[in-house]
Amino acid sequence: MSDDEAREEKELDLTSPDVVTKYKSAADIVNKALQLVVAQCKPKAKIVDVCEKGDSFIREQTGNVYKNVKRKIERGVAFPTCISVNNTVCHFSPLASDESVLQENDIVKIDMGCHIDGFIAVVAHTHVIQEGPVTGRAADVIAAANTAAEVALRLVRPGKKNKDVTEAVQKVAAAYDCKIVEGVLSHQLKQFVIDGNKVILSVSNPETKVDDAEFEENEVYAVDIVASTGEGKPKLLDEKQTTIYKRAVDKNYHLKMKASRFIFSEISQKYPIMPFSARALEEKRARLGLVECVNHELLQPYPVLHEKPGDLVAHIKFTVLLMPNRLDRITSHQLQQLQPSKSAEDDPEIKAWLALGTKTKKKGGGKKKKSQERKAKPESESADAEPIDEASDGAPA
- Split at pLDDT 50, 70, 90, the class of 286 is confident
pLDDT of residue 386: 36
Residue 394 has pLDDT above 50, yes or no: no
pLDDT of residue 273: 94
Name, in order, each residue with C-beta under 8 angstroms of 158's C-beta and a sequence gap of 6 or more.
215, 216, 217, 322, 360
- Split at pLDDT 50, 70, 90, the class of 369 is very low
Q: What average pLDDT score do residues 31-35 get?
A: 98
Residue 103 has pLDDT above 50, yes or no: yes
Nearest to 142 by CA among 364, 336, 375, 366: 336
Q: What average pLDDT score do residues 124-147 get?
A: 98
24: how many CB neighbours lie within 10 A of its CB? 19
Q: Give residue-wise pLDDT tens across range 210-251.
A: 899 999 999 999 999 999 999 999 999 998 899 999 999 889
Give the burial class of 47: count Cβ atoms within 10 A of its Cβ; 0-12 exposed, 13-18 middle, 19 or more buried.
Answer: buried
- The sign of the CA dihedral 212, 224, 353, 144 is negative
Q: What average pLDDT score do residues 254-280 get?
A: 94
Residue 121 has pLDDT above 70, yes or no: yes
Average pLDDT, the chain: 89
Where helices occur in 250-339 by DSSP H, the ranges are: 258-270, 283-295
pLDDT of residue 381: 37
Residue 180 has pLDDT above 90, yes or no: yes
Residue 371 has pLDDT above 70, yes or no: no
Q: Distance (Å, rounded) from C-alpha 194 to C-alpha 222?
A: 8
336: how many CB neighbours lie within 10 A of its CB? 19
pLDDT of residue 327: 97
- Split at pLDDT 50, 70, 90, the class of 55 is very high
Q: What average pLDDT score do residues 294-311 get?
A: 96
Q: Where are the beta strands (DSSP E) in the chain?
A: 75-85, 88-90, 107-116, 119-128, 134-135, 179-180, 185-189, 199-201, 220-228, 235-236, 244-247, 276-277, 299-302, 305-306, 313-322, 327-329, 338-339
What strands lie across the sheet with 276-277, from one edge to the other?
Answer: 276-277, 244-247, 299-302
Domains located in the chain, CATH noted: 12-239+303-385 (3.90.230.10), 246-302 (1.10.10.10)
Q: Give residue-wise pLDDT tens across range 324-340.
A: 999 999 999 999 999 99
pLDDT of residue 10: 59
Q: Distance (Å, rounded) from C-alpha 47 to C-alpha 110?
A: 11
Give how far the C-alpha of residue 69 lies from the chain's centroid of Cα atoms, to the nearest Å: 29
Bridge partners (DSSP) listed for residue 205: 208
Q: What average pLDDT score do residues 121-150 get?
A: 98
pLDDT of residue 385: 37
Residue 372 has pLDDT above 80, yes or no: no
Alpha carbon distances (Å) from 248 to 121, 150, 197, 201, 253: 21, 33, 15, 22, 11
Q: What average pLDDT score do residues 345-368 get?
A: 77
299-302 and 244-247: which strand pairing? antiparallel
Answer left, alpha or beta for residue 265, where phi above 0 means left and psi between -120 and 50 means alpha.
alpha
Residue 9 has pLDDT above 70, yes or no: no
Name, in order, each residue with C-beta under 8 angstroms of 377's C-beta and a sequence gap of 6 or more.
383, 386
